[in-house]
Structure formats: C-alpha cells, structure tokens
Amino acid sequence: GAVVSQHPSWVICKSGTSVKIECRSLDFQATTMFWYRQFPKKSLMLMATSNEGSKATYEQGVEKDKFLINHASLTLSTLTVTSAHPEDSSFYICSARPGNSNQPQHFGDGTRLSIL
Amino acid sequence: ELKVEQNPLFLSMQEGKNYTIYCNYSTTSDRLYWYRQDPGKSLESLFVLLSNGAVKQEGRLMASLDTKARLSTLHITAAVHDLSATYFCAVDVKAAGNKLTFGGGTRVLVKP
C-alpha cells in the first residue's frame, strides 16, 4: 500500500529556532501534498495544499511567512516553521495523494513539535 | 463553506453494547472517509464511501452513507476495549480541490 513517511516524529527546540519537517511519499509520486495542524483533543485543520513545482496554497488565517512550504519533487514536501514560538507547538500531519486526484490521501505519522 | 459535524463528541461505551456515531455535512460530497486516531498517533484509514447507499464493514465497525440526507454513520457492534480511540469523518469535494474537511471527532472510551 501507499506509504507516507514524515520526519522527524518529535522535536523539541528553543523559541526563535526554525524547524523543518519532511514529508515523503515512499512508493508513489504525489503531485499534491497537504499539511495539517492538530491541537490537543481537536480535529485536524488544513494549513496548506502543496503542489509540486508551484507555490503552496494556504488556507485562510495561516501565515505563509511563518509556515514555509516547499514541494520540490514528486516525492518530497517540506514544512518549515520559521522563528518558532511556544504557540506554534502542535501536532503537524502531512498527507499525500497519488497523481490521480481520484485517489485518497495517505497520511504520515505526524510530527509533534514542542517549542520551549 | 463546507461544514462537517459529528456527534456525539464523546461516547462512553460499555463492552458488548452497540453504538452509532453520526456525521452530517453541508454540501454535496464526492467521497466520505472514516478514520481512527489513537492518542499521540496519526490517522488510520477505516472506510471510504463513494456513493449513496454505500455500506462497508470491517470487524465490529460498519459505515454507511446517505448522500440525500448528507449523513454518514459509523456503527459499532458489541464494543470492546480495543475500539477506544477518536474517530473522525472527513469529506472530500472535487470542486474544492479535493481538500478534506474533517468533522470535530468523536472520542470513544469503552469501559469493561
């Protein structure tokens, strides 16, 4: 089955640090990847849609300068949380859809980000 | 704007009894998904429902879809402790770029 690898699974860093999270589709090509954020005991909130070779599409209220998304290849998208602060602490989950838009999304294992 | 509502938000179950989780959505959907999430983990796909009247079953879980009522249900038969988790429904709309819109989740706790 389709596998999406997300790395790191857990990161703790100091306030002001930038953190990069990687999302890789291991056995398929993904022209579209999605980044979600989840607060404790809440649902998933879509942050942005990442399209290979073009700029990401951000959802309303998501700061594009704070959450930088790069989708440089058909198997890799990265989310960089720039100058992270404690309020950025959250669980971040990526998903990838195989090339055909009729295919369902496959989710990564998530990254727990804690900013001290 | 597409809205997806789940209820109840929390469900305390007794082992051996049957329960249903409801998922209502506000506009025409192309696909409806059910996911399970364990604490600290990502999502595990349970079911994909594509058309009106679709019913899928896996073990003690059964999902159904009524597109006319814009309603999906997740039925749990003879609940067991292993089913304790949070369950999410999500709706996929082509016109919205196939983005998933999630319900608020139902936290299920099965007690002996």
- A24, A76 contact by CB (below 8 A): yes
Q: pLDDT at residue A46 above 80?
A: yes
Residues of A in contact with B94 (CB under 8 A): 101
User: What whole-number distance in Å separates Cα of residue A10 and Cα of residue B110?
Assistant: 29
User: In the structure, what pLDDT confidence band is assigned to residue A54 with cuts at 50, 70 and 90?
Assistant: confident
Q: What average pLDDT does the structure give for chain B?
A: 94
Amino acid A24: pLDDT: 96
Tokens 């179950």, located at residue: B13
Name the residue among A41, A101, A107 with its Cβ closest to that of B42. A107
Q: pLDDT at residue B88 above 80?
A: yes
Contacts of B61 (CB under 8 A, 6+ apart): B34, B46, B47, B74, B75, B76, B77, B83
pLDDT (tens digit per residue) in B57-77: 999 999 999 999 999 999 999
User: What whole-number distance in Å separates Cα of residue A7 and Cα of residue A19?
Assistant: 11
Percent above pLDDT 90 for chain B: 83
Residue B103 is encoded by which pair of tokens? Answer: 């319900």
Percent above pLDDT 90 for chain A: 77
Q: Chain B, 53-72: which have a CB under 8 Å from a chain A CB?
A: none
Q: pLDDT at residue B84 above 80?
A: yes
Across the interface, whether the CB atoms of B100 and A105 are under 8 A apart is answered yes
pLDDT (tens digit per residue) in B14-46: 999 999 999 999 988 889 999 999 999 999 999
Q: Check residue A104 and report its DSSP letter.
A: P
Q: Check residue A105 and report its DSSP letter.
A: P
B96 by Cβ neighbours in 10 Å (0-12 / 13-18 / 19+) ranks as middle
User: In the structure, what pLDDT confidence band is assigned to residue A98 with cuts at 50, 70 and 90?
Assistant: confident
- Concatenate the DSSP letters of all residues of A32-101 into one string: EEEEEEE-TTS-EEEEEEEETTS--EEPTT--TTTEEEEEEETTEEEEEETT--GGG-EEEEEEEE-SST
User: In the structure, what pLDDT confidence band is assigned to residue A5 with cuts at 50, 70 and 90?
Assistant: very high
User: What whole-number distance in Å separates Cα of residue A64 and Cα of residue A48?
Assistant: 9
Amino acid B71: pLDDT: 96
Across the interface, whether the CB atoms of B99 and A49 are under 8 A apart is answered yes
Taking the CB of residue B34, how many other CB atoms lie within 10 A of it? Answer: 25
Residues of B in contact with A6 (CB under 8 A): 42
Q: pLDDT at residue A75 above 70?
A: yes
Q: pLDDT at residue A102 above 80?
A: no
Report, as an integer, the average pLDDT of A78-100.
93
User: What whole-number distance in Å separates Cα of residue B5 and Cα of residue B102?
Assistant: 8
